[in-house]
Structure 1
């Protein structure tokens, strides 16, 4: 589930910190990388938990209204589609979900006002009104309702993004990536799987974890080699004036190009150019594109890299 785009971003950040730290401990850098990736996986569960929390809040509201001293007819006979939503019931009972939260407890209690306001917005929406108007929603109706709600109220929600960034420093990047995986998870759910419905794993396979550690190590161990290639290509520039983040991005990009035969060089170039657009100066992506393109052409001419 932690895809290589997010791994690349984390490695650039870890190596940037590596050079800022006077006590350069590679083992500690590896631990920091895996910890940061673990926190990104926590966010996946935290967003799944948000849907459960919204449902529980609605249940509490309904129960509170029923127990009023003089409840109205609507208080006594509320719409219970949200409470009886089969998709949320399945998620709440999910073994993998509960095991993970048992090992790594998390809660939305500190953000109760935010959750309350989001529930108000959901209940006032056309999406909810159409859902509430259904006579007897089936499993697909229930799942589709939450897919729409997630897309409309949670995905790319700036207020939520700000809250998450304040909650955890490791959530300031890749929020949108994790949110897309929650949407994929909703789509993947099947009623017949019950509580054993599989959630997305932290890594697609062990290969991605190995990729992360190998890329980190190679980028650090072969610093001199990659910087020499960059310096040779930037003979018209003042090498010492290259933005530090640009240097880190190019160093990691070259580590990937040299180390992983199965990843096309063009893919690596595109991914790190995209990283430069968000993490360096406005002109960095163009600069990095030119330098890396020149380096790749040269090492291909010299047969210094082999690609499958």
Structure 2
């Protein structure tokens, strides 16, 4: 599940934190990177559990309505959504239940949010059409949850805020993790029953190695990579460059030089997009030009044995509009305060959570 897009995001965050927080212990920083990535996988499972929590809340409502109908002689409520075939299969999923048994966080601690989301679902057009449709197939049940997730969970500011309160890591992870939850819903097949496989934490060992190698190369060769930036920045004022831009380009250079199978065009496009998200409004175009110049310099001096292909614009799903809260955060980001604070808090939280895990294991 953890793909290279998410890995690059984490390395940008943690490389910045590595320098800003004064943490110069490479082994500790590497453990923090892997822990941060594992939290993204926790979020993936936690969001799948939200579907189960909603289903269980709906069953309680159906039970109350059934008792009322029996008592008053009214119409019996439909159980179609409460026993949605896809949701029942997910509820019984062996992997998801094993995950839940190891976690302290549970949607039982956020009952009011779950109830509010149930209310939104019951008022949605997708739910109304589903309940009135005579199609009772597994495919229809699965498709309903795909629609509900995209419409009411994927872009839900209340949920975003709740998740951020539960883990500082999750604020930046959800947009990527949402795509994997939707992919998982689509992959479910009824014949697999409780043994339906969820997405693995890493697609393969190569992606985990990619994370570690890229992070280590970025930190250990920092002086060299920054010299490359300085030598190719004659048309720019390198000394006035935003520090986040330096971090992003440093990681991009590390990727160019460390991974021969990744095309230069892919690397440049990926980090230009990250600059647009994490740095100043002008950073994307600046880093685009700088990385292109750096790549050509490295090739001309024999340090980079690649070629620069034509670079079509990377196609991306539209991102949600920035809220006023995010706009203020982006403004503060220009002087580094947001990331300095957030990733310092993340580091402290990581230490605390790791200590708690050790205590639990000892017990």
**What secondary structure does 1:29 align onto?**
helix
Distance 1:235 1:80, change over 3 A: same
The TM-score, its normalising length taken from structure 2, stands at 0.81
Partner of 1:180: 179
2:221 — aligned with what?
A: 222
Separation of aligned partners in 2, 1:130 and 1:124: 11
Query: Which position in structure 2 is the counterpart of 1:50?
Result: 50
Checking the alignment, whether the CA contact within 8 Å between 2:44 and 2:181 is kept in structure 1 is: yes
Question: Which residue matches 2:163?
Answer: 164
C-alpha distance in structure 2 between counterparts of 1:44 and 1:97, whole Å: 10
Partner residue in 2 for 1:5: 5
Structure 2 runs not aligned, ≥5 long: 308-363
3-state SS of paired residue (1:172): helix
Please say if 1:100 is aligned against 2:99.
yes
Alignment of 1:1-308 (within 5 A): 1-68=1-68, 71-74=71-74, 77-135=76-134, 137-307=136-306
SS at match of 1:130: helix
1:211-232 CA-to-partner distances (Å, cap 9, x unmatched) read 0000000000111110000011
- Provide Cα deviations, 1:12-65, integer angstroms capped at 9, x if missing partner: 111111112334111111111011111111111111011111111111112233
Offset, 1:72:
4.0
Secondary structure, aligned partner of 1:276: helix
Contact 1:44 1:181 in 2 (8 A): yes
Shift of 1:233: 1.2
Contact 2:55 2:83 in 1 (8 A): no
C-alpha distance 196-231 of structure 1, shift in aligned 2 (>3 A): same
* Alpha-carbon shift at residue 160 of structure 1 (Å): 1.9
- The structural deviation recorded for 1:191 is 0.5
- How many correspondences in the alignment? 307
Question: Helix, strand or coil for the counterpart of 2:169?
Answer: helix
Q: Distance in 2 between matches of 1:102 and 1:172?
A: 24
**1:274–1:285 contact (8 Å) kept in structure 2:** yes
Task: Spell out, residue by residue over 1:91-144, the C-alpha distance to the aligned partner (whole angstroms, 9 max, x if none).
Answer: 111111111112234312332222111111111122112211233511111111
CA distance in 1, matches of 2:89, 2:127: 20
RMSD value, Cα: 1.7
Distance 2:170 2:23 in 1: 25
Quote the Cα distance in structure 1 between the aligned partners of 2:240 and 2:158: 37
What's the TM-score once normalised by structure 1's chain length? 0.95
Cα distance in 2 for partners of 1:212, 1:260 equals 11
5+ long unaligned stretches in structure 1:
none
Output the CA distance in 1 between the equivalents of 2:23 and 2:176: 32
